[in-house]
Amino acid sequence: MLALAPAAIDLDTGAANLLTLKRRKRGLVRQVLLPPELLRDLNRLFDLRRRQLDRDLATIPLWTWSRTTAWRRVKEVMATAGIAGAAAMPKGLRHSFGVNAFQSGVPPHLVQRWLGHASLETTAIYGDVIGPEERAFSAQMWRT
């Protein structure tokens, strides 16, 4: 996400194209659909449409932070939101995203694509939950 530049965001389809860093092949991109509200906010804050028209500005990342600064800022926001423990780290956000996708009924192959996993077996980890997350799955099943 730190390398996210205006050229990587399609405001019309609502997709962000993210470079996958974990896979062995270089240059793999995964597409994540973003909520319309987030796209509106990003466009308002960063003037994305105008920057996309300028070849030079289109490739400059939205954030100029280092990984350490980004990690620190994420931690600050999580502390303000009252998120603590193992979930209070950027990796916790990713895990929560994966679990929430499963709980929302998103098909596993889409969760796999959004998380950038090469194998569906890796994605299945996010569906293997216990405690409150398991109860949420059960409640969702009985509602439908």
Q: Where are the domains of the chain?
A: 1-64, 83-144
Nearest residue to 79 via CA among 67, 66, 92, 68: 92
The model's pLDDT over 50-74, given as tens digits with 9 standing for 90+, comes to 999 999 999 999 998 888 998 898 8
User: Using CA atoms, how far apart are residues 15 and 4, in angstroms rounded to an integer?
Assistant: 12
* Single pTM value for the model: 0.70
